Amino acid sequence: MRKNEPVRMCITCRVREPQQKLIRLQEKNSNIFPYTGQGRSFYICTGCCENEKKLKGLMKRFRLSSEDSEQFVKYLKELDKNG
């Protein structure tokens, strides 16, 4: 690990990881989507991405509709596939 590498915390399991290793997301109007460079963002780790239970907790926290939740999970699965 390089010195001064920014470390961020996973919003779900609170693990601390270098920023690069985490997935940056954004929440707006009860929807979660990839960070656009503006507004409030948060991070989740790849472990939580694969943990449906944790994802469900996260969606509940942000009051996502089931449709939005589906899209969110789809997005994470795509990320997973692409590495």
Give the footprint of Zn ion on this chain (CB under 5 A).
Answer: 10, 12-13, 45, 48
The gap from C-alpha 31 to its chain's centroid, in whole angstroms, comes to 12
User: Which of 71, 16, 6 shows the shortest CA–CA distance to 45?
Assistant: 16
Which residue, 7 or 65, has its beta carbon nearer to Zn ion? Answer: 7
Which residue, 3 or 14, has its beta carbon nearer to Zn ion? Answer: 14
Least CB distance to Zn ion at residue 46 (A)? 8
Least CB distance to Zn ion at residue 82 (A)? 19
Amino acid at 57: G
